[in-house]
A and B are shown apart, each in its own frame.
Chain A
């Protein structure tokens, strides 16, 4: 069964810390996405990547960076965590031409204290 795995389901960090959220997919998909989900705001795109070492800004990239050194892994980095980055983070992997075109991880609920 295909799978998108996010490294942590719950994470608590402190203001100013550097935070890494990892996402790994086993489907050889080229397109991977990071979203944050907040009540009333739906899913907002932070960054996405359509190939190794390629990245594009989404709607809310400020305060975040990403890394795609290998096709299967897409990392989201909070350079200096702030309390307004407390949120649910979802990773997705996409291949439009497959029967199951998108797969999401289970999400990471990140709290910044």
Chain B
């Protein structure tokens, strides 16, 4: 079975500073995808960034970047120049690239950006 663990239930950061959210996962598969989602109070799930396991280069989307360590099964999210609108729940998720694949989520990290 695959599992996703987010060890930080809550975090806070000052506006304009950098914060890193951690995520570890467990799988026996070699071909998979990892994702970070943002869920603001409006509760719509928004895909922030994704990483294919076969790619060595870390994914980047504007102020969001990941540190993907495949051997360590670690997938952290770095938010640079934090903005008030980044305040949200953040979920790490994993899916195998197989038929009948399950999308598994971590427990989430509540991020508060302070002015």
Contact = CB atoms under 8 A, between A and B. Distances in A.
Contacts of B50: 101
B95 A45 contact: no
Nearest to B89: A42
Dominant SS at the B interface?
loop
B43 A106 contact: yes
A92 B50 CA distance: 16
B58 to A, nearest CB: 18
Given A35-B105, A48-B102, A40 B95 contact: no
B103 A42 contact: no
Given A42-B91, A94-B103, 20 more contacts: A33-B103, A35-B105, A42-B108, A43-B105, A48-B102, A48-B103, A50-B99, A50-B101, A54-B100, A56-B100, A58-B102, A88-B43, A90-B45, A96-B33, A96-B95, A100-B47, A102-B35, A102-B47, A104-B45, A106-B43
B107 A41 contact: yes
Interface size for chain B: under 10, 10 to 19, 20 to 34, or 35 or more residues?
20 to 34
Contacts of A56: 100, 102
Nearest to B44: A106
B106 interface: yes
Contacts of B6: 42
B107 A45 contact: no
B11 to A, nearest CB: 15
A41 B107 CA distance: 5
